[in-house]
Chain A
Amino acid sequence: MVELAQYLLNGISQGCVYVLLASGLTIIFGILNVPNFAQGHLYMVAAYLGFYMVMSYSTNYWLALVLATFALGILGLLVYFLVFYPIRNAPEVNLFVAAMALLMILEGGALFLFGTETKWFLIPWSRSVLSFGSLTLQVQRVIVIVGTTVVMFLLWFFIKRTALGAALEATAQHREGALLCGIKVSRISAMAFVVGTALAGIAGVLIGPAVLLEPTMGMGPLLVAFSAIIFGGLGSIAGAVVGSLILGVVESLASGYISAIYSLAFVFAIMIVMLLFRPKGLFGKEVWRP
């Protein structure tokens, strides 16, 4: 029975990884209606940035976290105006393809710039674990859980308690209505994208030290994050959080009790089942209509 508790703990820590990715994904989807396939690779870029800052330039870890987040935000702004803004009126599938192209560019660029060798963080607490009775968790993963909680709280505060956040929510709910209210929808769209990429940035530096870095590291978590937001409901941040945590736990339980190979299949099966019986997910808005 102790194992069950450990599985749950593992699942929650892994789930937090997905929370950070999924929340960014769902915000971008809610506003721009495009599944940002490149989110996983943005996370990868942030992880590498953090790695070089901390390992090659001896930057303080927490400072690197802030800097990487900013850098990703700026990258997001650039990407939005260079890629998504010019084609904003095109059919949604074009934006999706553009995200795919972005993914390829980021991966190719990372391969070229960072080389092919796997890299890993080595910071003072890399090898330490925290124990709670017979349960243990790597210190970095504890940081991930705490960091995710803090970030989600800040995000909630931003959306529910600030005017800008309200504008964001309004645009996600009904674009034309928001326009009618005088909200500058195009700016909000840009901001949504920046928030999304910044979240990927935080994810990269928080999670980086807990895993190995390689150019394809973002793909796996991205797929689970997609499943999570479908499960939770596209456009709903609460849904992203709940979905991610549930899928993280499912993955952990499947790995422990059944087999690690099929855990990804389980995750996708859950997504498919949800799509078939309740496409809007747990908390989502109505299924997409043209």
Chain B
Amino acid sequence: MKTKSIFLSVVILLVAGALVCPAYAQQMKSVKIGVISPLSGPLTFIGTSMLRCVQLMVKEVNEKGTTGNGPGLLVGGQRYKLEVVNYDDSADPAKSVAGMRKLAEMYNVPVVLGPFGTPQVWATQEVNVGLKVLFNGLSTSDESRKKGNALYIQERVPGMYYGDYMAEACFEKGYKKAAVLTDINEAYVSWGKRFGQKLTSLGGQVVAVQAVDIKNTTDYHSIMTSFKAKNPDVIFVATYEEPTALAVNHALDVGYKGKFIVTSDFGIKAERIVGLDRMEGSLNQAMVHTYYRKYPDQDKRGYATAFIKKYLDTYKEDFAQPGLSVYDPAWMFARAMEISGSVTDAYAIRAACPKALEEGKLPIIFPNVDVLKNGLMWGAPELILEVKGGQYKLMKEFRVPRNILE
């Protein structure tokens, strides 16, 4: 039947491909790592960035190894070449699951990066343990690591925990009245809520709250007009990069003269769209690489800057902020394979992950040092930057304490 002949063709192609590979590949065995990401549909930009980040990592490992002991992985005395196999799930949870099955069954991947999106991750969590695949699903929800999935990695602390620190920073600067705009996504909504709660508890005030569906909203003028009418000192914006920039622009368009506090989604592209010179006094709860991008000399370890340069040189196009998140977990998985001595046992690889980070030898962007029992990668600092004179000034650095994340 049709599906069988497709299957057959794939097999033939793989065999042919293997035969045509350069000689050195035949000396090294290969291990495949999977990437599930949206490569069609509205989230294509994020999905493409995810895939490219993993491909860059794989290239580097294949050339130099995980900690300079290359080429490739050195597992139990045998060298392995890494290969990426990917699946386009179009951000459809049912297809994320199908993709997980395909990668596990057809390619025997022990680890997968992706999928992107909370429903997609939750759906995948139903099958990954049965398929014995360790995966890093990109979900900003606080629930994702609380489902007891033994083979799930969450690469970043859910944003809502940062709300406290952002509120403190605002209060410190004297921005006591806030209007809150978030994406309709629950993670962003709780981020905004937490920010508001902390601000109120410090003695501030939340004068307006709105949620938007960025898919359908291109005009923020009226929302910003309603905010402006309440005279806030600061407008909190938590949504994806381009809509954040648009919202800020539209607020400025309707004559808003106050400040903004934006989240880590606000990267270099948003800066270009808005122009930092128009955001004097505003705050950005940024990830470290956003800061290092403008001030490379601040990047003491140098890895973030090196990565950004490599990405831009290779692809001539900028990356989507969320897509970057899979880079570090990919490195961690690779090193964990070496430490655990296995390229097939997902549980062993997972057990070796904390050590992979503890060693501190990986060229990862965010200096996480540990993996909590529930799968959360922890340790990287987050920043609060202030815009001064069209430039960023580091206002404070913080880490969410691990005990409240466990």
Contacts and interface: CB of A to CB of B under 8 A. Distances in A.
A59 interface: no
B391 interface: no
Contacts of A14: 219, 221
A142 B272 CA distance: 23
A216 interface: yes
A11 B246 CA distance: 17
B129 interface: no
A3 B216 CA distance: 23
B216 A115 contact: no
B143 interface: no
B253 A253 contact: no
B210 A260 contact: yes
B242 A136 contact: no
B30 to A, nearest CB: 29
Contact of A256 (B213, B225, B242): B225
B216 A264 contact: yes
Interface stretch (A86-94, A127-135, A190-198): A127-135
B40 A10 contact: no
A260 B183 CA distance: 11
B255 interface: yes
A281 to B, nearest CB: 24
B395 interface: no
Interface in A241-272: 251-253, 255-257, 259-261, 263-264
A182 interface: no
B276 interface: no
Contacts of A251: 219, 222
A219 B305 CA distance: 38
Contact-size category for B? 35 or more
A56 interface: no
A60 B184 CA distance: 39
B273 A120 contact: yes
Contacts of B358: none
A118 interface: yes
Contacts of A118: 45, 242, 269
Contacts of A211: 218, 246
Contacts of B318: 117
A138 B249 CA distance: 10
Contacts of B211: 259-261
Interface string B186-225: 0000000000000000000000001111011111111101
23 contacts: A3-B225, A6-B221, A7-B222, A7-B225, A10-B225, A11-B222, A14-B219, A14-B221, A111-B40, A116-B44, A117-B317, A127-B252, A127-B275, A134-B255, A136-B253, A211-B246, A212-B218, A212-B242, A212-B273, A251-B219, A252-B221, A253-B222, A260-B213
Interface of B: 40, 42, 44-45, 48, 184, 210-213, 215-223, 225-226, 228-229, 242, 246, 249-250, 252-255, 269, 272-273, 275, 278, 317-318, 320
